[in-house]
Structure 1
Amino acid sequence: MQKKLSGKERRQRIVESLIEASEPQKGGKLAEGYGVSRQVIVQDISLLKAADHPIMATPQGYLYNQPQNAKEKRTCIIACRHTKKDMSDELNILVDHGVTVKNVIVEHAAYGELSGQLMIKSRKDVERFQQLMDEQQASLLADLTGGLHLHTLEAEDEQTLSEAKEALKKGGFLVEQEAD
């Protein structure tokens, strides 16, 4: 029988497992591995974040957001607009161009900036996210702003980002700044 870990030991092991993981780790799976409830894991993650561990909660699970030691990736922020029925089309355009959709951001009149961490980088991720949205009957953050939202995109190079933005423009998703 495995010795029950203290909260401090469990949190240290959670950090170690997230650092070593190549894919996001689901809270339920972590809970099962440490013999605690998912709610305990959620509390542990909150405590770890408060202690400045760069842990990100995504629809795919928890990630330790380590700086890239390899070639630095390029990022940009784009503005898009669409309805819920077009969400998968927008995301698939991006991932098909080799872009990771890091988040979604909206500007709320009372709360200011609201964001959700996505880390969507494949059609499989898009499919899982769409399924989660459907199962939970969840609304898009962009529903708060008439469909207008921002995404932080990440890619290997500027050319990849440019091609993805052009494809979004052709698809009618990209909102461009109007000339004065």
Structure 2
Amino acid sequence: MTPGKKILGEERRTLILEWLQTSKEPLTGSELASRSNVSRQVIVNDITLLKARNEPIIATSQGYCYFAPSLPEQWFERSVACNHKPEETEEELNLLVDLGLLVKDVKIEHPVYGDLTASIMVSNRKEVAQFVKRIHETNATYLSQLTNGVHLHTIAAKNKQTLDEAEAALQEAGFLLVE
């Protein structure tokens, strides 16, 4: 590709799919825009078109990923209900990833829109730090702020014992929502 030459339409979307499918790391909209010599907004539109074709692309706090629907090996999932202040989010996420968990998403029940889910996809402290940094840099709010701190996470681990340990650790930290 010649520097400065835009990659057009369908060719660009095909390349975006290839880049996402072969990348071991999430790719940001800015990175994809730079590779194809278009604006970030063009990439956002391309991702929307690809999602409309049922391509399994997810937007995470680290960038876009081509999401293979199955978990690695024989992983187990569980939803946990949590409640904490926004400034405790990083502590909560670090507590989970330090146990070797993948925090897949955050869900809330909004009074108007119903269930809202946002992908997080963090599995280590570096990814947690990037997620929190992105929230602060964009002046975004955590979804849980819409529900006074109440939210669900889908967590995944290699075994059920680790999921049990995660619930116990959340309860000990005062983050687990209990009846």
Q: TM-score range by the shorter chain?
A: over 0.9
Cα distance between partner residues in 1 of 2:133 and 2:73: 33
Which residue of structure 2 lines up, in the alignment, with residue 97 of structure 1?
Answer: 99
Secondary structure of 2:134's match? helix
Question: Structure 1 residue 139: deviation in Å?
Answer: 1.6
Which residue of structure 1 lines up, in the alignment, with residue 141 of structure 2?
Answer: 139
Which residue of structure 2 lines up, in the alignment, with residue 161 of structure 1?
Answer: 163
Cα distance between partner residues in 1 of 2:43 and 2:176: 38
TM-score (norm 1): 0.93
Which residue of structure 1 lines up, in the alignment, with residue 85 of structure 2?
Answer: 83
Secondary structure of 2:130's match? helix
Gaps of 5+ in 2: none
Question: Structure 1 residue 159: deviation in Å?
Answer: 1.2
> CA offsets, 1:54-80, max 9 Å, x none?
000001000001134852321111100
Work out the percentage of aligned pairs sharing the same amino acid.
46
Secondary structure of 2:168's match? helix
Secondary structure of 2:20's match? helix
Cα distance between partner residues in 1 of 2:7 and 2:138: 33
Cα distance between partner residues in 1 of 2:72 and 2:134: 32
Partner of residue 20 from structure 2, selected from 14, 18, 21: 18
> CA offsets, 1:23-75, max 9 Å, x none?
10111011000111110100000000000000000010000011348523211
Which residue of structure 1 lines up, in the alignment, with residue 29 of structure 2?
Answer: 27
Secondary structure of 1:77's match? strand
Q: How many equivalent residue pairs?
A: 177
Partner of residue 128 from structure 1, selected from 95, 113, 130: 130
| Superposition RMSD in Å | 1.4
The answer to whether 1:64 aligns with 2:88 is no
Aligned AA (1:143): Q
Secondary structure of 1:125's match? helix
Question: Structure 1 residue 6: deviation in Å?
Answer: 3.0
Cα distance between partner residues in 2 of 1:69 and 1:102: 11
Gaps of 5+ in 1: none
